[in-house]
């Protein structure tokens, strides 16, 4: 979280798998209850309804403003970020993003969606919050994660932001982003998750918990029998091979350019990929994009003054 003239600048990276702020990460699963849930933890109360947040992940949707979920997740994310600093009432300027090639058409609608209620009161984890939304800056996903490191982007560089739902691809040549050379592919980590679960069902006739598959994708292993681990590992290796095949479709050549990877897909490349580590940089900080949103929003607000 950053601050300018008593306004808190809070970034929310609205991923399909996880909602990130500069200091928090929460899975996007959301379930509504008419009465208070039995178990505590990650419970949002808003307009008389209770929402359990963080169990599993939200399904992919093309337009994040098509239902109320991402607004509720935004309230939760703001609360979690403020709570890190023991703050429960604030003027907030949001900083968020959209996929590279979607932002032109969705920017204003998404801004209106996030600012639909200028002043809002709610509770999260039994703590009351009073938020006044005073503005919202929107940026293309991925690029903000590396904006503070552009000094390293000499020559030709390819940035791949691999999230749960999409992969954003952007060329950065001599420190400058190439707007005419950016693409969004619906080829996120969730596709690997689906393929892995189906492979286990097809081969062994049993269902596997999503949390178990996620552990394997993140860390390369889990406490399960070897045949199941081998099956999921094979799927993950094929997914990573498909990532590089997709990049080559957009003229990626490791001999002529450097590759920078941000987002959750980076751990799959590290765990299951074959690549030249001297020419591929994987940014491990899952909150890097959110931190970049905050940085860009603060710079923009300062310029306005």
Domain with 264 in it: what CATH number?
3.30.420.40
**Total count of domains within the chain:** 2
Domain, as residue range, for 246: 152-189+223-282
**Are residues 297 and 233 part of one domain?**
no
List strands edge to edge, sheet with 30-33: 2-4, 7-11, 89-98, 127-140, 119-124, 43-46, 49-53, 30-33
Classify residue 92 by burial, with Cβ atoms within 10 Å: 0-12, 13-18, 19+.
buried
The three-class DSSP label of residue 222 is coil
Alpha helix stretches (DSSP H) within 61-127: 69-84, 103-114
**Are residues 184 and 64 part of one domain?**
no
**Are residues 88 and 36 part of one domain?**
yes
The whole-model pTM stands at 0.92
Calculate the dihedral angle through the C-alpha atoms of 250, 138, 166, 20, rounding to the nearest 10 degrees.
130
Strands 167-173 and 156-162: antiparallel
Strands 176-185 and 167-173: antiparallel
Query: Is residue 212 situated within a structural domain?
Result: no
pLDDT of residue 55: 84
**Are residues 249 and 181 part of one domain?**
yes
Query: Is residue 205 situated within a structural domain?
Result: no
Query: Is residue 161 situated within a structural domain?
Result: yes
Question: Above 80 in pLDDT, residue 214?
Answer: yes
Indicate the average pLDDT of the chain: 95
Question: Above 90 in pLDDT, residue 291?
Answer: yes
* Tokens (6 digits) for 292: 């970049």
**Are residues 20 and 84 part of one domain?**
yes
Query: Is residue 275 situated within a structural domain?
Result: yes
Query: Is residue 202 situated within a structural domain?
Result: no
Strands 127-140 and 119-124: antiparallel
Query: Is residue 34 situated within a structural domain?
Result: yes
Query: Is residue 199 situated within a structural domain?
Result: no
Assign 59 a pLDDT band (cuts: 50, 70, 90): confident
**Are residues 119 and 90 part of one domain?**
yes
**Are residues 61 and 29 part of one domain?**
yes
The three-class DSSP label of residue 156 is strand
Taking the C-alpha atoms of residue 128 and residue 120, their distance in angstroms, rounded to an integer, is 11
Distances in Å between the Cα of 161 and the Cα atoms of 8, 168, 187 are 27, 5, 11
pLDDT of residue 41: 87
Query: Is residue 17 situated within a structural domain?
Result: yes
Closest to 76 (Cα-Cα) out of 117, 131, 141: 131
Q: What is the pLDDT of residues 229-278, one digit of tens each?
A: 999 999 999 999 999 999 999 999 999 999 999 999 999 999 999 999 99
| Number of helices (H), then strands (E), in the chain | 7, 16
């Amino acid at each position: 979280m950053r601050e300018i003239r008593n306004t808190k600048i809070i970034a929310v990276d609205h991923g399909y798998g996880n909602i990130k702020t500069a200091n928090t990460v929460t899975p996007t699963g959301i379930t509504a209850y008419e009465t208070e849930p039995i178990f505590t933890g990650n419970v949002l109360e808003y307009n008389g309804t209770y929402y359990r947040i963080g169990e599993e992940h939200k399904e992919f949707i093309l337009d994040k403003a098509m239902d109320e979920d991402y607004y509720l997740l935004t309230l939760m994310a703001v609360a979690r970020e403020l709570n890190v600093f023991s703050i429960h009432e604030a003027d907030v300027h949001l900083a968020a993003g959209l996929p590279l090639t979607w932002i032109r058409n969705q920017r204003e609608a998404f801004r209106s969606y996030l600012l639909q209620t200028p002043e809002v009161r709610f509770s999260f984890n039994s703590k009351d919050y009073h938020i006044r939304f005073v503005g919202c800056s929107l940026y293309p996903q991925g690029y903000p994660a590396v904006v503070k490191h552009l000094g390293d982007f000499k020559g030709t560089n390819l940035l791949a932001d691999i999230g749960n739902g999409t992969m954003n691809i952007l060329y950065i040549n001599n420190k400058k982003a190439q707007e005419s050379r950016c693409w969004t592919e619906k080829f996120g980590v969730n596709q690997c998750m689906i393929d892995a679960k189906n492979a286990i069902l097809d081969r062994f006739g049993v269902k596997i918990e999503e949390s178990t598959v996620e552990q394997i994708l993140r860390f390369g292993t889990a406490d399960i029998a070897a045949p199941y681990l081998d099956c999921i590992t094979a799927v993950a290796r094929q997914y990573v091979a498909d990532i590089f095949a997709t990049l080559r479709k957009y003229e990626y050549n490791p001999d002529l350019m450097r590759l920078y990877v941000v987002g959750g897909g980076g751990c799959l490349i590290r765990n299951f990929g074959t690549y030249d580590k001297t020419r591929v940089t994987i940014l491990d900080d899952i909150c890097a994009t959110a931190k970049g949103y905050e940085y860009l929003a603060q710079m923009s607000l300062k310029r306005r003054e």
